[in-house]
Amino acid sequence: MTLFLTSVTIILLSSLTGIACRRGGRFWPLATLTLMLTGCLLGIVATTLILMKSAAASLFLPWSVPGGGLAFHLDSLSAIFIYPALLVTAAGSLYAEGYWPVAKHPGSGSWLRAFYPLLAAGIILVLVADNSVLFLFAWEVMALAGFFLVVSDRSDEEPLRAGFIYLAATHTGTLALFGMFALLGTIHSTPLLPLAATLDSNTATATIIFLLALLGFGLKAGLMPLHVWLPGAHAAAPSNVSALMSGVMIKVGIYGIIRVTGYFAVIPPWWGWTILGLGLISALMGVVFAIAQHDIKRLLAFHSVENIGIILLGIGTALLGRSYHIPAMVTLGLAGALLHVINHGLFKGLLFLSAGAMIHATGSRKLTDYGGLLRTMPLTGLFFLGGAVAICGLPPLNGFVSEWLVYLGLFQAAKVSAPIPPLALLALPGLAMTGGLALLCFAKVFGLSFLGAPKAERPGHEPPLTMLLPMAILFAACTWIGLAPTTLLPLLANATSTWLGNATITATADLANLAPAENISRIAVVLLILVTAGFLSLRPKKDKKIPQTTTWGCGYSLPLLRARYTATSFAELTVNFFSWALRTRIKTPTQTTPFPSKEPFATHTPDTVLDLLLRPAMTNIVEATGHLRRAIQHGMVGLYLLYTAMALLALLVFVSVW
């Protein structure tokens, strides 16, 4: 544990050298990168040593904060979240050297290197905090660092707007967590956080704790409809920050939900049904909103909502398994959710870094500005395709393995005679539909961005090695888990046992179902090799001349670039089918003159919750409070004293009646 905390301290020290990057030169950026990589490597080594020597490690140090203590606890459940956090942090730090160098961005470059380590350290401290005060302290460090990173580019209005929405949402969640920990303190006698399966859930206090945890942690996780901050913040932040926020930070909300539900010995069935329902809504609506996007980073952000939904489906399955005493649902559901936590961190980090390379090469986030990038960016195209295959849940990459476990966990509901658990099978078509829509979305993105005719003479260029290497590392990790998922079986089994505690249900051998998924992935690799070999064998020899002819294009030999397929036309059928939820606004040209002028065609899909519900509601509240302020504030001291006396009288009456 000392070595682990030393690694966190080194990461924090890199924040100080990041500030010094404003002085210019190569020393301070190199020192910052060295400290970050060293801290992440030490953290991975320390976590591995802890898990090899024992199931967990704890450390308690005195702290002069009332009700607080520097209490740290690292176990297998924490490690599930820590490993991708450290790996994505290291990859993002190296990536920034090519994507956002201090030499070209002296102000924002040092700003980025100062707050990026704070965000990473805050995330890691939350995952090992064993005291509510320390947990909330680390949570606030993480929240504020995230805000400052979102607004890194302060020359544009979009990051500022997205940053303040993020700040309002995250502090709403923090307020809910204050209430949750306060109630936990009333039913738990020690200042440390409760042990697994030690609290009684058959009380009104337990119900309120669950609802507050769902609100506070759900806002951080970005589950639908609490996702309002997520698309804007992930789109506005630098791409390596987006990778850390999407791949790691939002999983801290998932960590909180898993930990809090694990504190209780008996799980009420409605807890599991609630999380299962929210997961299904988030998975389906997240991918539907992603299909309607034209901004590649907003598209990837909505896919984060989708994958949070898939993780919640696994958690909901595990909770229902505990409620109805079905061990296989517990083991497979929770293991699938935890494995998807790791997998999503890896392939979503890979996708955001690949998207950042595309933005770096073209200077645009719009899909309509891409085309033919595979010709000049073959490695980036390979890495993006790998991330796309993984996020669609296709073999042989890692996304398939975790979704396989979630599927199997849901199927366990059909093996019992009780009438209620088989209702969980209704989530299966939704999960399958989510995968199909994700495949449609990334067929659109990859096809329009990397294939086809380029939209410019030089559509892009391959990024430098400092950007390619992090993508290669994450791609290799995705491939490794896809082809050898059984190597993670001990970690998943220990994490499941940690969550169960001394509950009557124990982890079973159901995780052996990873072996068939491993075999399927390996068969997929063999098929890919055979198809590739067959394709190469059919290619004509170099000395054979191939006649060059113009492809038939409806009579147009040289069609205009703006008349070709776009993201809007590709997804039009799907967007129209879900128009009841998307509310897409279409601006069509309205020409009435014989000689029409130039007029654009545009579509915009608003965020239903943020733009159509919260913004109008907040506007009305601000106007109403403005009228109230003008009505009751007249500048008369006597009137203000009367207000005070009336408030005190109301409080006295309340206390007397209570």
What is the domain partition of the chain in residue ranges?
274-536, 611-657
Q: What tokens appear for 385 in the block?
A: 């395709």
Q: How far is residue 577's CA from residue 572's CA, in Å, rounded to a whole number? A: 9
- Check residue 505 and give its pLDDT: 56
- Check residue 325 and give its pLDDT: 85
Q: What tokens appear for 375 in the block?
A: 């010709």
Calculate helix-pair angle for 27-53, 106-128, nearest 10 degrees: 10
SS (H, E, C) 595-618: CCCCCCCEEECCCHHHHHHHHHHH
What is the identity of the amino acid at 149?
L
- Check residue 547 and give its pLDDT: 65
Q: How far is residue 548's CA from residue 555's CA, in Å, rounded to a whole number? A: 17
- Residue labelled with tokens 């738990």: 188
Question: ∠ CA 170-174-177 to the nearest 5 degrees?
Answer: 140
Alpha-helical (H) ranges within 129-238 are: 132-150, 157-187, 204-221, 230-236
- Check residue 459 and give its pLDDT: 67
Residue 225: cis peptide before it, omega within 30 degrees of 0: yes
The CB-based long-range contact list for 456-460 (8 Å cut-off, 24+ gap) reads: 456/362, 458/376, 459/361, 459/362, 459/370, 459/371, 459/372, 459/373, 459/375, 459/376, 460/358, 460/361, 460/362, 460/373, 460/376, 460/377
Q: Is 59 helix (H, G, I), strand (E, B) or coil?
A: strand
With a cut of 70, which residues of the chain have pLDDT below it?
A: 417-420, 455-459, 502-509, 540-565, 591
- Check residue 420 and give its pLDDT: 67
Task: Identify whether the C-beta of residue 86 lies closer than 8 Å to the C-beta of residue 40.
Answer: yes
- Check residue 219 and give its pLDDT: 94
Question: ∠ CA 424-426-430 to the nearest 5 degrees?
Answer: 120
- Residue labelled with tokens 């517990």: 330
Q: How far is residue 300's CA from residue 530's CA, in Å, rounded to a whole number? A: 32
